[in-house]
Amino acid sequence: MKIIGILALAVLAPLAHAADSDLDRLMSALSQRKHGHVTFVEEKHIAMLDKPVKSSGELLYDAPDRLEQRTLTPKRESLVLQNGVVTVDRGKRHYTLDLRQYPQVVPFIESIRATLAGDRAALERVFHLSFAGSFDMWTLTLVPLDSKLSGSLKQIALEGTQDSIHQVEILQSDGDRSVLTIGPAVTE
């Protein structure tokens, strides 16, 4: 069940105070963020298809563990992660998944959730972390520690400036990938 696989989130908010430009500083800045609401566009590049499939919608985050992905095109769909339980609504269909039952989904979820929460310890339980760039413009690459558990996931690369995430790229072992680009904040 990789339903959560492409879930990605980002947050735009007022600038946090400046600090040392390293991973801990990024994490600390991210952890200050309690709420975010942005738009997204996602492209999936799949070898079988002549061109990527696109979707778009909105992402919401409330610290420390509520994520929501509202897809608006091509079909309305809502996916909510809260307290380790994922609920999906698609048309008439309603699904509920308890993440504890799907350990293979955990890397996908933790990559996003723990990054947004600035929880470096949680990330390092699942991934090998490599940080490139500076606090002002960074790339955080996550490679699963346990390849058996992570299934088809090869790596996740997050790009951002300061405490804003701009793009999440998920690379699969068969070469297919998805790129999620974060748009501007939605005014509520």
Partner 1 sequence: MKERRFAGPAVTGTLLWVALVCVAIVIVVHTRFTADLSAFLPATPTATQRLLVSQLREGIASRLIIVAIDGGESSSRAQVSAGMAGQLRKSPQFTAVSNGDESGQERDRAFLFDHRYVLSESVDPDRFTVAGLRGAIQDTLDLLSSPAGLLVKSLLARDPTGEMVQIVDQVGAGQAPRTDNGVWTSKDDKRALLVAQTHAAGSDTDGQQQAIEAIRGAYANSVAAMPEAARKGLSLEMSGPGVFSVAARTTIQHEVLRLSLLSMALIVALLLAVYRSVPALLLGLVPVASGALAGVAAVALGFGVVHGITLGFGITLIGEAVDYSIYLFIQARQSWATIGLGVLTSICGFAALLPSGFPGLAQLGLYSISGLVAAALVTRFVLPHWLPSRFRIRNVEPLGTAVATAVRRAHRASWVLGVLAIAAAASLYVHRNSLWNRELSALSPVTQADQDLDARLRADLGAPDVRFLIVISGASQEAVLEETEHVGAGLEPLITQGVIGGFETPTRYLPSEQTQRLRRSAIPDAAQMKARLEEATSTLPLRASRLEPFLSDVEAARTHPALSRKDLEGTSMAAGYDSMVVRDNTGWTALMPLRAATSATGAYIDIEANKVRAAVAAACGATGATAGAAHADAPADAPVPRACPERQATVVVLDLKNAADELYSTYLAQVVKLSAYGLAAIVVLLLIALRSPVRMLRVVTPLALAVLIVAGGLAVLGHQLTILHVIGMLLIVAVGSNYALFFDRRATDKQRDAVPLTLASLVIANAATVVGFGVLASSSVPILAALGSTVAPGALLALVFSALLAERLPVTPGGS
Q: How far is the CB of 26 from partner 1 (least distance, A)?
A: 26
Contacts of 44 (CB under 8 A, 6+ apart): 6, 52, 53, 54, 176, 177, 178
Among 36, 37, 42, 113, binds partner 1 (CB under 8 A): 42
Find, among 174, 125, 181, 135, the residue nearest to 157 by Cα: 181
For residue 55, give both structure tokens: 């979707």
Q: Give whichever of 46 and 185 is closer to partner 1, judged by the CB atom.
A: 46
- Nearer residue to partner 1 within complex by CB, 17 or 51: 51
- The closest of 23, 8, 5 to 165, measured between CA atoms, is 8
135 contacts 21 by C-beta, under 8 angstroms: yes
75 binds partner 1 (CB under 8 A): yes
Report yes or no: 113 and 81 within 8 Å, Cβ to Cβ: yes
In a 10 Å sphere around its CB, with 0-12 CB exposed, 13-18 middle and 19+ buried, how is residue 38 labelled? buried
CB of 46 to partner 1, least distance (A): 6
CB of 7 to partner 1, least distance (A): 5
| Site for partner 1 contains 71 (CB under 8 A) | yes
- Contact between 18 and partner 1 by CB under 8 A: the answer reads no
Closest to partner 1 by CB, 34 or 54: 54
Site stretch for partner 1 (CB under 8 A), options 12-20, 39-47, 128-136, 141-149: 39-47
**First-to-last C-alpha distance (Å) of the chain:** 33
Q: Which residues bind partner 1 (CB under 8 A)?
A: 1-7, 42, 44, 46, 48-51, 53-55, 69, 71, 74-75, 77, 79, 88, 90, 92-93, 95-98, 100-101, 152, 172, 176, 178
